Amino acid sequence: MNGHIILKLNSASMKKYFLFTALLIFLIACHDTDKKNNQSYDKSLYPKNVIDLYQQIKQKPDSIGLRLLLVDALDSLNNPFAIREALLQMDSLTKKDSLNYGLWYRKAKLNENAKDTNAAIVCYNKAIHVYPSPDALLSLANLFAETKNKKALELCNQVDELKMGRAYNAHTNFIQGVYYARTGNKNAATQFFDACINNDYTYMVAYLEKGFILFDDKKYTEALKVFETASQVNNVYADAYYWQAKCNEALNDKKNALINYNNALALDKNLKEAADAIDRLK
């Protein structure tokens, strides 16, 4: 009897031991992950031009021009660590010159690249507070439109009142169209996308957005016509062929779907969705 009890106690103790060990390993792993996330990217892995800029900044730490060159170089690497480092450089610059419109605008763009919409909105607002340029107003309006914020329309009206010409009218039309598309008003969205195209017939994303509305409504033949028009306006626009292929596939036209998927992939080798579709339809 006593031996049996001892075995049960040992078994319970072992379970506690394994649970404790597992928990300890988990906590250590979390700590290591946090530590890695907080560490700077190994700068020796950057390209030579970036390393050279770091060295030049060490010699001239107060040079705004050198820091902005470094920010552009880091941003071009398309690396999350590099973008984070670029943002740290911008933090340093905006702390020293908080009333510089250009610095806040550049920082907002960097945050957009980093997919940090909230931080980008904050920076655009700071830029506009210094100088309400039409470009900053449009950039902020676009973020508001994508997040279904009605302030997008107010900012577009503000830009329209500046009477900057048809190119800016096309931008405001497009952003208004995006706002209405995201909030479910398809008729209004289509009207604004058409207005955008009337102001600038080369505004390719307006064709796409108009086509998406039709595609989502399963109006594949009508959507196909829109995407075909887009490829006629710009015959090297990969997305126009990709979405033609999507319409072809929805219409059970496998032959033309393959042709258009191949056209899209030929123009954009990174269009993985087209490559996957080709493999699927072969």
pLDDT at residue 42, as a whole number: 65
pLDDT at residue 173, as a whole number: 98
Cβ atoms of residues 237 and 226 within 8 Å: no
Nearest to 156 by CA among 141, 170, 140: 141
Q: Where are the alpha helices (DSSP H) in the chain?
A: 2-38, 48-59, 64-75, 80-96, 101-113, 117-130, 134-146, 151-160, 166-182, 186-199, 204-216, 220-233, 238-250, 254-267, 272-281
Nearest to 202 by CA among 173, 179, 156, 170: 170
Write out pLDDT tens, residues 95-121. 999 999 999 999 999 999 899 999 999
pLDDT at residue 28, as a whole number: 46
pLDDT at residue 1, as a whole number: 40
pTM, full prediction? 0.80
Q: At what angle do helices 166-182 and 204-216 cross, to 10 degrees?
A: 20
Cα-only R_g, the chain: 27
Q: Which residues of the chain have pLDDT under 70?
A: 1-44
Tell me the domain boundaries of the chain. Answer: 201-282
pLDDT at residue 44, as a whole number: 66
pLDDT at residue 43, as a whole number: 67
pLDDT at residue 3, as a whole number: 40
Spatial separation of the C-alpha atoms in residues 190 and 212, rounded to whole Å: 10
Give me the CATH code for the 201-282 domain, please.
1.25.40.10
